[in-house]
Each structure stands twice: as C-alpha cells, then as structure tokens.
Amino acid sequence: MKLLVTFYLGLILGLGASLPVADVTNEDGGVQDATLPDRCDGIEFDAITPDEKGNTIFFKGAHLWKGFHGPAQLSNELFKELDDDHHIGHVDAAFRMHNPENHDDHDHVYFFLDDKVFSYYNQSLENGYPKPIQDDFPGIPSHLDAAVECPKGECVANSVLFLKGHEVHFYDIDTKLVKIKTWSHLPVCTSALRWLEHYYCFHGHNFTRFNPVSAEVSGDYPKDARNYFMKCLNFGHGGGHEIPKCSEAKIDAITTDDQGRKYFFAGPLYMRLDSRRDGLHAFLITRTWKEMTNGVDAVFSYADKLYMMKGDQVYIYKSDAHNTLIEGYPKPIKEELGIEGPVDAAFLCDGEHTLNIIQGKKIFGIDLLATPRAVTSDFPLPLSDIDAALCGQDGVRLFKGPTYYHYETAFILAVSRMAPVAENITHEMMGCVE
C-alpha cells in the first residue's frame, strides 16, 4: 500500500565545535559537510522551540536546524541579532508564546541569552528587543536552562515554565505572577518541548516525558531521542516511510474526536491533521492505540470515546491522555452496533447520534441512543470501494484512493442517486507531495 505520510520525526543534535573537514555519511545515507554538527552524534540541545509556522527549531552552540530534517546552519543566518551583542553563538532557552487572547504576543518566539530576551515574529526581531529578561518576565532568573509554553487546560492558566537546575518557575502570562517549585526527581533539562499536548525534557541525548503541572513521569524513561525524535541510521523509529505524491494517496480511515483532534490512518500509521502549528508527523498506530496491531478499517468518535474497527471487531478507547482500551473490548461489531463487519467506512456528524456505516454500495444508519443498537436505515450508494469518510462543518467527504467526493450534508448523500464529480486530495488536506 502506498502510504500518505512520513516518519520524519527528528530532534536534531549538533556540536558547536569544528570538526575535521571531510565528507561523511549522514543519517539519511547521504553525504554532508563534516564541518557541520551531526544531529545523530548523541549530544544535547541548548534549546528547542516551534516557530509560528509549525517548524521546530533546534539549537546547539552556534548552529540550528530548522525542521525535522536537513543540514545544520549557523544560527545568525536566520536570527542575526542573536549574535550581535554576545558573539558567543548560543541560546539558553526558547519557547513560542501561546496566548491567543493577546494577538500582540500570540505565536511570537522568545529566545533567552544570558540576561537578555529576544522576541521574533516571522524571523524578524521585534522593536525594542533585546531587553533584560526582567522587563518582559519579572521574577524570572537569567542564564536559564530551558523554557516551554503551557496553555490553559494543560496548566491551570496560560503559563510559561522556566527551568533552571531543579527549579521550575511557573509564569502566569495574564497576571505575571511567578510560582516556584523544585522538581528534584526530574533530570536537569537543557531544553524542553511541548509537542502534541505532551511535554518533553531533553538531557544529554535522552528525553523524559513529564506532566507540566506535577512533573510526574509515567512510563519507562529516559529514552534515547535518536530512537524517537530524529531520523538516524541504525536507530529505531526515525525513518523508512517516503511521502508519496497526492496522486498516489490512499487512506483507511479519518475522524475528528470530541476534543477537535483530527486523525487519519493509512496502513500501520496515523497522523494528527490538526497539529499543523506543531508540524505534521506520522506515527505507528500502536504508539497510541497499542492493541491495533493490524491497522484499521474505519474509525469514528462518539461520547468522548474512539471506536476503531478492524475486520469484524470493534475496539473502544477512552479519548483521554492515555487512550485506554475499555475493559471487555474488543467485541464483535455485530454485538456493539447491530451490523455485521467488516465495514468500509464510518462517520458521525457533529451533534448527531446517527452513525453512518458504508459497506460496498450501501450506507446504513444506526441510532447510537438505542438499546440494543440496530440498523434503522438502508440506502443505496452511487459509489463503491470507499476507503474512508468524514463529516465536518463543510459537509461529508467520501475518500477513494487519491480522490474524494463532497456532499453538502449527510441527508443529500443518503438520497443522491448520482455521484458528484471526484476531486483530488491536496497537500493542504493531507500533507502529501503535489
């Protein structure tokens, strides 16, 4: 199966010192300039931050990497002012401001060097910067180790976590109040990153995922970043999937959950489509839903639960941070939904309780409020071999290979006897190559 997505998950490591001039093989199997630091040498970052466009920037010494793949470059090629006063080519900490209620600051990127703060937008230094850290962030110390945004809902208030040693300074963006805690059980972070609602402390070539309020660490940590966050030869999860052309795209399922997170699934992989401001990345489905070892046929969200169907079985997961499989599942689709599996596609429109199941050239309606659940409607479909379906504010889309069919409403889909003109999946929709 041609896959739509890529596994370019990279945190890019580098050395500030010069290396002997020679051609070496990089982690992509190509040749790189050996005077540049190698992201896979197993050293630690000075700072990591996403920019306002969703590109993640990694700093080490005088160099940075923009994005999850590609060569290192000098930091002052993109942010020349960082080196104007200090001439030491380093960044202590960095974060992107998450404050949608304040458009003056939202999505600005802050860099911290010694006792100074720099504010950038679109790679341009804001007027009045650099300035002392205390002018913008009163109560925050200089010579920081790391910083990371923490929006309300993940923290108690819209906040920034400033880390220095084992101390964390919780800075309330709205009130400018600071609370200090000691996290002695967490490693000293040389950089920190918020990515897809999770928080990562980087130390050496390892990382530890932590809760931003309590610093609780759940799971087996630390882990080697080269196995998860970068594309390196001879390391586990860093590569192997090429981005196909949009004309070769094929997805198995697509859905939006009750928290507004939009997922699509292709073969063994899935991608979050609502995460463009943090970059689009593909993951193994088993990373999040460990029991789904053979991919999915159809997925839909209902009542804060994610229903994932494969063959004649349905798996129901809580839509929480741990995506916990509900006890007693999987069960036969027939037992749960009153229809025989397997299914080709499924969708549920926002605020409705009628699940739409597509099988072959038919679309079935199932009342999710009924007990037991059973088929309540049965309509012919002027299409066949549908791969996936999604209902959103702009109507219903049925996906078939690299194309989709758009209907204004689910009712129009049910009563139509002719298929609309097929449209092509685009890069803006799925991240494929035009």
Measuring CA to CA, which residue among 169, 172, 159, 173 is closest to residue 189?
169
Domains of the chain in start order, with CATH, are 23-227 (2.110.10.10), 246-430 (2.110.10.10)
Q: What is the pLDDT of residues 43-71, one digit of tens each?
A: 889 999 998 887 889 899 888 888 776 77
- Residue 412 to residues 261, 347, 406, 407, 418, Cα–Cα distance (Å): 26, 15, 10, 7, 11
DSSP 81-118: GGGTTT-S---SEEEE---TT-TTTTT-EEEEETTEEE
Residue 202 has pLDDT above 80, yes or no: yes
The 3-state DSSP class for residue 269 equals: strand
Residue 10 has pLDDT above 50, yes or no: no
Residue 23 has pLDDT above 90, yes or no: no
What pTM, to 2 d.p., does this model score?
Answer: 0.69
Tell me how long the chain is: 434
Measuring CA to CA, which residue among 179, 182, 137, 135 is closest to residue 157?
179
The 3-state DSSP class for residue 264 equals: strand
- Residue 327 to residues 48, 318, 324, 370, 390, Cα–Cα distance (Å): 39, 10, 9, 21, 27
Contact present, 60 and 46 (Cβ < 8 Å): yes
In the block, tokens 């609780």 appear at: 216
pLDDT at 276: 66
Q: Which residue has the higher pLDDT, 33 or 199?
A: 199
